[in-house]
């Protein structure tokens, strides 16, 4: 029974590695090799995976759940860098530095995360140099996301940031038919990701509701007319009304 459980866990690790964009397309032999030095870590809601000053021993891939990567400023305010979900990798930058992590990482919900050990992965890169290009691509993607997040916070008002976040998750922004978007996080977490507080987020959604742009029901937000929301977002009208 124990051997069966371990085999199922190892199979799940292999499947997660295979479906991760960083490793997708690698031969089965290399995926199995990476799985041999990868380990599953189970986190309860609110549990920290690592702190910014911890000594990194590898990078991570989310198997299930959600991981909030954030930094805390001098006044104690938390700013979310990114929320990583199933299949996404993060902290690859630790492969090329002896420093710490880019921030603190905490589970937003019960999560399972795969640790890919640094020393063994670097040894594999020496034998398979094309892996280095994959790591560089992932690092560039995360850097681009961080820059986009910073620009969004600095250049856009709260209404624009909320509308943009909703439109990015709308399956058809050009549609005039209602589109429901499920919030896979608390409003407090979403507010932090958008650089505001939950009270301001609630007021913004109420403003959109009064203008018949959205309908809010618990943890779902329905865009009543995505095309209209997109047009107002492009025209910069949201904050002026």
Residue 228 structural domain: 158-240
Query: Are 11 and 96 part of one and the same domain?
Result: yes
CA angle (152 as vertex; 147, 153 as ends), nearest 5: 100
Residue where a domain stops, chosen among 102, 127, 154: 154
Q: Are 41 and 112 in contact (CB under 8 A)?
A: yes
The CA distance from 67 to 153, in Å, is: 21
User: What percent of the chain clears pLDDT 70, i.e. is strictly above it?
Assistant: 87
Residue where a domain stops, chosen among 98, 123, 154: 154
Query: Are 15 and 38 part of one and the same domain?
Result: yes
Query: Are 16 and 134 part of one and the same domain?
Result: yes
Query: Are 12 and 79 part of one and the same domain?
Result: yes
The CA distance from 172 to 113, in Å, is: 32
Query: Are 130 and 39 part of one and the same domain?
Result: yes
Question: CB atoms < 10 A from the CB of 205, how many?
Answer: 19
Query: Are 124 and 203 part of one and the same domain?
Result: no
The two tokens of residue 179 are 């589109």
Query: Are 228 and 136 part of one and the same domain?
Result: no
Of 145, 166, 161, 219, the residue nearest 195 (C-alpha)? 161
Of 16, 138, 121, 103, the residue nearest 58 (C-alpha)? 121
Whether residue 13 is predicted with pLDDT greater than 80 in this model: the reply is yes
pLDDT in tens, 30-81: 899 999 999 999 999 999 999 999 999 999 999 999 999 988 877 777 778 8
The two tokens of residue 39 are 């380990």
- pLDDT band for 241, please (50, 70, 90 cuts): very low
What's the CATH code of the domain at 117?
2.60.120.10
């Amino acid at each position: 029974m124990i051997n069966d459980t371990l085999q199922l866990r190892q199979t799940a690790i292999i499947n997660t590695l295979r479906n991760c964009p960083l490793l997708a397309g690698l031969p089965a032999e290399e995926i199995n090799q990476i799985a041999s030095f990868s380990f599953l870590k189970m986190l309860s809601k609110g549990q920290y995976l690592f702190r910014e000053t911890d000594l990194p021993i590898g990078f991570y891939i989310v198997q299930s759940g959600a991981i909030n990567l954030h930094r805390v400023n001098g006044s104690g305010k938390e700013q979310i860098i990114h929320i990583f979900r199933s299949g996404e990798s993060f902290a690859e930058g630790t492969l090329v530095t002896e420093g710490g992590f880019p921030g603190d990482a905490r589970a937003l919900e019960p999560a399972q995360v795969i640790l890919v050990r640094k020393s063994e992965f670097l040894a594999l890169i020496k034998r398979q140099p094309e892996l280095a290009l994959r790591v560089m691509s992932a690092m560039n993607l995360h850097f681009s996301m961080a820059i986009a997040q910073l620009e969004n916070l600095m250049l856009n008002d709260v209404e624009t940031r909320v509308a943009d976040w909703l439109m990015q998750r709308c399956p058809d922004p050009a549609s005039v038919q209602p589109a429901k978007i499920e919030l896979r996080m608390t409003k407090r977490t979403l507010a932090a990701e958008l650089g505001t507080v939950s009270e301001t987020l609630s007021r913004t959604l109420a403003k959109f509701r009064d203008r018949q742009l959205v309908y809010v029901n618990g943890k779902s937000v329905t865009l009543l007319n995505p095309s209209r929301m997109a047009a107002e977002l492009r025209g910069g009208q949201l904050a002026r009304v």
